[in-house]
A = this chain, B = another copy of it.
Amino acid sequence: MKTDLPTLMQAGNLDALIVLGDAFHNPAMVYFTGVAHVSGALLVVKRDQQPLLFCHAMEREEAAATGIPTRSITDYDYRAIFAESGKDPLRANAQLFQMMLKDAGVTSGRVAVYGQNDAGRAHALLSALEENMPQVEFAAEFHKSTLMQARMTKDTAEVERMRNIARQTTEVVGQVAEFLSSQRAKNDILVDKKGEAITVGTVKSKINLWLAERGLEYPEGTIFAPGREGSVPHNMGNPASPLRLGVPIVFDIFPIEAGGGFFADFTRTWCLGHASDEAQELYADVRFVYETIMTELKPDTRCIDIQGRACQLFAERGHATMAENPATKEGFVHGLAHGLGLDVHEPPTFGRGATEEDILQRNMVVTIEPGLYYPERGLGTRIEDAVYMRPDGKSEILAPYPLDLVIPVKS
């Protein structure tokens, strides 16, 4: 968590970290600033020191509201810098950043860089800075950066925010269930009062409104994928698709605090009216794995071992898994879990890309999301909850919600 940062920076041999970009929808920046309407900023955090935020004068009041001491980028004479650089915007910006870093006391040592930016632009700027500032080494962090190691564990206030957004998300899920069960079926298709088919698009419009009413955003959309669509894990669901009774619908919802803060991530699989036999069988297997893993979950476990256990349980029930075939498109085809926070997918990693250093620890919030997918049979099933690994070593679902497969509809 944030208080670990000085220790983590020391362990990572970092003298400073800098964050580039906006203070909204930019996890690394928001981690320090909170959501603020500050764009194109530079945050400098020297080890064991308070952060310093460089921002444009137009946004000085939004920047000041973050509580972080600020400096004005606008006070640097860009016109003169640009002229001196031979009117080369890259050289001019490298010079400007070097001046800001110097004024923040960063002239040498090992520095990590974070923040959402255009990849090519960031590479060009950092390469130019490396040339300008040979005493500075930009750390080549990749999988689990020093900052991510801090972010991976959550403090009490962060968990409270995550619990809050998880609860609001289950409220919306409840509204969707209520909406669906207040409709009736005609020829096995869900229809409204006028007898017109209720589509995936109808449901998503309502979800968007119910999220907006709570001040939540949904930059990555919502999965509401019936039948065959739900048999490919990240198929979002076709807005035009009708909702057929008995067929499993994968409903995966992952809104974020307004402006880009913490995410929720939650999935249920629903059948309207009744569930077909094969939907029930699949669901029973997923629920069994979900419940077994939930019971067994304990801190200080390697993520690949938890993933392996889920694969073993699915395999025992006759399903293909990533364990024998990492590229399988049938059976259990994805990671069992992932870290959740300011990114919807963050370390620790359980599936593809996991290493032996990915450990489930106290104070982490992770999803647990077993699923089964059979594209040729047109069936997908997933259950997902966000789990907080409490300091006492127990796991706790952030916002419990019923696991019923069938949503009754009016007959």
Contact = CB atoms under 8 A, between A and B. Distances in A.
A179 interface: no
Interface string A122-160: 111111100000000011111111000000000000000
A386 interface: no
A87 interface: yes
A390 B307 CA distance: 57
B25 A219 contact: yes
A299 interface: no
A265 interface: no
Interface in A200-239: 205, 208-209, 211-213, 215, 217-221, 229, 232-236
B120 A113 contact: yes
A401 to B, nearest CB: 23
A212 B260 CA distance: 17
A261 interface: no
Contacts of A211: 212
Given A221-B259, A236-B62, A327 B75 contact: yes
A207 B252 CA distance: 26
A280 interface: no
Contact of A24 (B37, B87, B219, B327): B219
A176 B103 CA distance: 45
Interface string A353-370: 101100000000000000
Given A90-B142, A122-B122, A58 B234 contact: yes
Interface residues of A, number: 81
A118 interface: yes
Nearest to A116: B116
Given A117-B119, A326-B78, A58 B140 contact: no
Interface in A4-34: 20-21, 24-25, 28
Interface in A28-48: 28, 37, 39
A182 interface: no
A59 interface: yes
A196 B213 CA distance: 20
Interface string A335-377: 0000000000100000011011000000000000000000000
A353 B89 CA distance: 8
Interface string A59-84: 11110000000001011011100100
A119 B115 contact: yes
Contacts of A333: 57-58
Contact of A119 (B114, B234, B352): B114
B78 A353 contact: yes
B89 A142 contact: yes
Contacts of A220: 24-25, 37, 39
Nearest 10 Cβ contacts at the A-B interface: A89-B143, A113-B120, A119-B122, A212-B212, A90-B142, A124-B140, A58-B233, A117-B119, A59-B234, A123-B126
Given A117-B118, A209-B213, 20 more contacts: A25-B25, A25-B220, A37-B234, A37-B236, A39-B345, A57-B333, A58-B234, A61-B235, A82-B355, A90-B143, A116-B116, A116-B119, A120-B126, A121-B142, A121-B145, A123-B126, A124-B140, A124-B142, A212-B212, A219-B259
